[in-house]
Amino acid sequence: MGLLDGLRAALGLRAEADAKRDADPEDLFGMSTAYLTMEAELGYDALDIGALCFSGVDSHSFREAVDEVEAILEAGQQETGTDFSVSEDDHGYHWVILEDSDPEDLITSLHFAADTFVEHNYGSRLLAAVFAYEDRAGQPAYWIYSFRRGRFYPFAPRSGRERDSSTEFKLESALDGELEIEREKEYWYPLWPSTGGTHPWE
C-alpha cells in the first residue's frame, strides 16, 4: 500500500465506513482549552499555524465553495489578522493554511473554513484539521482531527520518517477528556510532509 492509498484508507473511505460518530466542525473548538494544557502542563508552545486538508473534486459548485472559503477568510483577515493561503501538496490534496499568534482566532478561522464546506454539502471532502506545536527542545508535535472519524489523535514526527510513540501516548494521556481522542491506533495516520518540507502541508 502506497502513501496515497494509506492516507485514503486511514482518513478516507475506510475511516468513514468505520466511524462511530459524525464529524462536526464544532469539535475543533476543543483545541481552545487543549492548547493551554499543552503549554502549561506539557511544555509545548503553539506554532501559531494550523491547516485544513481536503480532497478536491472537479466541479463548478466545489470551486464556488473554495472561493467562498477564501472570501470568508479574507474578510476575517481584516478583523483577526489571520493570514491564510491555499495550496496543493505532492499527493494531490488541498490545504487551507492559516497563521495567527492568537490561538482562539486560529481555531475560529479553521472552524469557519470547515463549516463553509459543510454548508455547501462538501463536508465529505474534508479529511483533517492539523494544529502545530513545538516543545522546548524544538521537537514538533501535531494534533490532527480526522473529519471521517470525528476524533483527534497526536502525531510526533521525527527525522527519517520516524514517529515518537512515547510522546504520542503522553499527549494522548494528557489531553484525554479535553479532546475526543481516537482510541483505535490504526487510525493515528502519519501526515508526512513532502520531501524537504517541515509541516504536513508542505
Look up residue 151 and give its three cell numbers: 476524533
Q: Tens digits of per-residue pLDDT, 137-187?
A: 999 999 999 998 999 999 999 988 899 999 999 999 999 999 999 999 999
Can you tell me which residue has the cell 513545538? 134
3-187: CATH topology is Alpha-Beta Plaits (3.30.70)
Domains of the chain by residue range:
3-187
Read out DSSP for 121-135?
Answer: T-GGGEEEEEEEEEE
- Residues in the chain with pLDDT values less than 50: 1-5, 12, 15-16, 19
User: What is the spatial distance between Cα 105 and Cα 99, in angstroms, rounded to a whole number?
Assistant: 9
Look up residue 14 and give its three cell numbers: 475506510
- pTM summary value: 0.88
